């Protein structure tokens, strides 16, 4: 085991949060606020990188564990730790924040301090969500996250932002409140503890399992989002500022997927097995139907939002593929890889749209055309990300989808058949949009006056492009770290914990 003298996880969580609070009080001095935020974000990233590098891939169980009593009256412990499943998300989260802060440097001109501090707070909260081993710590940060996100969408969003912010908030709150009741219930049945791993061992009747499954479904499916509880996403994304969309797509959605792996599958494995058919059907509907819906979108951000839902369908599909009593390891790894990859790709797509939006102030595909002639460097980046979004081999988008499709062949061929249509549909909506926006004649004076990417934008796009290609060419760097964690999860879910009265 590695040294843990420094409480690395706590540092990773609290450094951005403290930086965020400091920035909040930097107040009117915009440049100071920007400077501190970059420092905070990079510090957070470096810390998470250290955790990543020190992480022992062969060790089964949690690492970097910290456990202190927090609220003894309620038996809540400040218990943190990472395993192979949460590790990649921690890194992704801190990475995306760096890009978001850099992306907002030039663009955000009003309430700079508040904007940056909200993102730093978000990062810290989300890191805590990924590291939490106490269900109440998880819940507190899971909910706390809503506050900065609500403000980000509501203050810096575009025309319909208020509606979108409220819809986002209430939708996610509904799910999490039901989860709260379940967590309290589990607290009592697992003899007065909020330890997530203690929940794993608690035997439950089938009825209880199914009810708990449904509550968790509301909490996490809304976040993922799965069809049919996805409708908040296409409203929230277009109205959110670029940074907000990036964080929302790249990380917030992943919390849903992570919750499924951390809570839903291991706590109620029997219900998960029994209901996996339903979940798979919903996932396939998301993949195919939402894929078609994105083809017809006129608004670029809406299009990418719908494509996110479709891609996240792969995550839920991969999470619920069983072979006998065992979860399908291939598909499960594919689901996690898909989440990470989608984190990079969707963030990059929203960044690209944001770059164009800052110049033309329109998200309509029809307002563009011939961008390539004015912004050649940008067009190249955008091309790469579009390819990744449609799952081209060599980019990160391919790896996860491929693994999930492989896994679904083992379970049932028909699943694989439907899942594989994404490769066609995805290419259709992404590349068709790309064609209409980037190629062709310059069709209006706004586009004609566009200038190519500036330095900050270049850095962000470059970082994301690097991540997308690196993961596409050498996915092993993530897969190796998660292998033991995935294996543990598969073993955990394979056991039945049915309580027969």
Partner 1 sequence: MNISLFAAIPEIFVTGMLVIMLLIDAFIDEKKKAVNTIWAILTLIGGFVLQLYVFIPGKVQLAFNDMFILDAMACGMKLFTYLTGIIVVLYVKRYVDDKQLLKGEFYAIFLFAILGMLVMISANNMLILYVGLELLSLALYGLVAIDRDNVRSTEAAMKFFILGALSSGLLLYGISFIYGATNGHLQLESVYAEIGALMKGHVNNASLVFGVVFVVAGLMFKLGLVPFHMWVPDVYEGSTLAVTTVIGTVTELAAVVFVIRFLVGGLALLGPQWSIMLSVLAFLSLIIGNIVAIAQTNIKRMLGYSAISHMGFIAFGLMTTSVEGLSAVIFYVVTYVLTALAGFGVLLMLSRDKYECEKIDDLKGLNKSHPIYAGILLLVMFSLAGIPPLVGFYAKLKILEALVATGYIRSAIFAVVMSLIGAFFYLRIVKVMYFDEQDSEIIVADNCILGRSALVLNGLALLVLGVVPQQLMVACLRFITG
Task: Write out the residues near partner 1 by the rule CB under 8 A.
Answer: 70-74, 139-141, 143-144, 146-147, 150-151, 154-155, 161-162, 165-166, 169-170, 173-174, 177-178, 180-181, 184-185, 187-188
Min dist. Cβ of residue 253 to partner 1 (A): 20
CA distance 496 to 274: 12
Q: How far apart are CA 282 and CA 59, in angstroms?
A: 35
- Cβ proximity to partner 1: between 52 and 185 the closer is 185
CA dist 351 to 34, 282, 372, 385, Å? 19, 29, 17, 10
Start-to-end C-alpha separation, the chain: 42
Residue 144 beta carbon to partner 1: minimum distance, rounded to whole angstroms: 5
Buried b (16+ CB within 10 A) or exposed e, 286-305: bbbbbbebbbebebbbbbbb
CA dist 22 and 18 (Å) reads 6
Of 27 and 376, nearer to partner 1 (C-beta) is: 27
Taking the complex as a whole, the smallest distance from the CB of residue 382 to partner 1 amounts, in Å, to 31
Residue 100 CA, distance from chain mean position: 14
Give the pair of three-digit tokens for residue 6. Answer: 């420094």
Which distant-in-sequence residues (6+ apart) come within 8 Å of 410 by Cβ? 321, 323, 328, 330, 331
CB of 80 to partner 1, least distance (A): 16
Q: Give the C-alpha separation, 105 to 73, whole Å.
A: 44
- Smallest separation (angstroms) from partner 1 to the CB of 154: 4
Q: Which of 153, 355, 125, 138 lies closest to 258 in space, CA to CA?
A: 138
Q: How far apart are the C-alpha atoms of 67 and 80, rounded to whole Å?
A: 6
Give CA–CA dist 191/199, Å, rounded.
10
Choose between 25 and 466: whose C-beta lies nearer to partner 1. 25
Is residue 494 exposed (0-12), middle (13-18) or buried (19+ Cβ within 10 Å)? middle
Length in residues, the chain: 501
What single string gives the DSSP state of each residue in 380-397?
Answer: HHHHHHHHHHTT-TTSHH
DSSP H stretches of helix in 157-223: 161-189, 196-200, 206-223
Backbone angles phi and psi of 159, in degrees to 5: -50, -45
Question: What gap in Å lies between CA 390 and CA 23, rounded to an integer?
Answer: 38
| CA-wise closest residue to 224 among 317, 131, 298 | 317
Nearest to 302 by CA among 232, 401, 379: 232
Q: Report the nearest approach of partner 1 to the CB of residue 182 (Å).
A: 10
Q: CA 103 to CA 456: how far, in whole Å?
A: 6
CB of 164 to partner 1, least distance (A): 11
Q: In whole angstroms, what is the distance from residue 327 CA to residue 318 CA?
A: 9
Smallest distance from partner 1 to CB 161, Å: 7
Residue placing its CB nearer to partner 1 in the complex, 58 or 73: 73
Taking the complex as a whole, how short is the minimal distance between the CB of residue 108 and partner 1, in angstroms? 15
Nearer to partner 1, 185 or 289 (CB): 185
Which residues make Cβ contacts (< 8 Å) with residue 277, sequence separation at least 6? none
Q: Which is nearer to partner 1, 82 or 136 (CB)?
A: 136
Q: Find the shortest distance in angstroms from Cβ 26 to partner 1.
A: 12
Residue 378 Cβ vs partner 1, minimum distance, rounded to whole Å = 31
Tell me the closest approach of the beta carbon of residue 220 to partner 1, in angstroms. Answer: 16
């Amino acid at each position: 085991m590695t040294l843990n003298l420094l409480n690395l996880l706590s540092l990773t969580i609290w450094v951005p949060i403290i930086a965020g609070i400091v920035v909040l009080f930097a107040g009117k001095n915009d440049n100071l606020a920007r400077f501190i935020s970059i420092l905070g974000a990079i510090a957070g990233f470096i810390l998470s990188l250290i955790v990543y590098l020190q992480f022992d891939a062969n060790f089964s169980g949690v690492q970097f564990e910290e456990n202190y009593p927090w609220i003894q009256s309620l038996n809540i412990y400040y218990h943190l730790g990472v395993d192979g499943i949460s590790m990649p998300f921690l890194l992704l989260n801190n990475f995306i924040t760096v890009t978001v802060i850099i992306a907002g440097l030039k663009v955000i001109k009003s309430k700079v301090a508040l904007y940056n501090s909200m993102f730093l707070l978000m990062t810290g909260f989300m890191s805590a969500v990924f590291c939490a081993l106490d269900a109440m710590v998880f819940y507190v940060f899971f909910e706390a996250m809503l506050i900065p996100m609500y403000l980000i969408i509501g203050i810096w969003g575009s025309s319909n932002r208020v509606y979108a912010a409220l819809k986002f908030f209430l939708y996610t709150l509904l799910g999490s409140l039901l989860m709260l009741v379940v967590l309290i219930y589990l607290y009592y049945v697992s003899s007065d503890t909020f330890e997530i791993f203690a929940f794993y061992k608690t035997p439950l009747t089938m009825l209880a399992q199914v009810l708990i499954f449904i509550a968790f479904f509301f909490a996490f499916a809304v976040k993922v989002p799965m069809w049919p509880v996805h409708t908040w996403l296409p409203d929230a994304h277009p109205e959110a500022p670029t940074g907000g969309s990036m964080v929302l797509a790249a990380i917030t959605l992943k919390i849903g997927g992570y919750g499924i792996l951390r809570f839903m599958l291991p706590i109620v494995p029997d219900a998960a097995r029994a209901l996996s058919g339903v979940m798979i059907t919903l996932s396939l509907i998301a993949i195919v139907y939402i894929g078609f819906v994105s083809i017809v979108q006129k608004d670029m951000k809406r299009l990418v939002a719908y494509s996110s839902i479709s891609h996240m369908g792969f995550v839920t599909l991969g999470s619920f593929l069983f072979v006998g009593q065992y979860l399908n390891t291939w598909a499960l790894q594919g689901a996690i890889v898909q989440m990470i990859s989608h984190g990079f790709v969707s963030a990059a797509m929203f960044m690209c749209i944001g770059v164009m939006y800052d110049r033309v102030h329109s998200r309509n595909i029809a307002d563009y055309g011939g961008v390539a002639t004015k912004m050649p460097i940008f067009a190249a980046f955008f091309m790469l990300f579009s390819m990744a979004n449609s799952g081209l081999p060599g980019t990160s988008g391919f790896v996860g989808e491929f693994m999930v499709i492989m896994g679904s062949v083992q379970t049932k061929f028909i699943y694989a058949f439907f899942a594989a249509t994404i490769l066609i549909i995805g290419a259709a909506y992404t590349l068709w949009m790309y064609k209409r926006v980037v190629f062709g004649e310059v069709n209006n004076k706004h586009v004609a006056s566009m200038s190519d990417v500036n330095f900050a934008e270049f850095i962000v796009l470059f970082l994301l492009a690097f991540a997308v290609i690196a993961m596409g060419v050498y996915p092993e760097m993530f897969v190796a770290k998660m292998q033991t964690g995935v294996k543990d999860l598969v073993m955990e879910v394979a056991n039945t914990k049915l309580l027969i009265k």
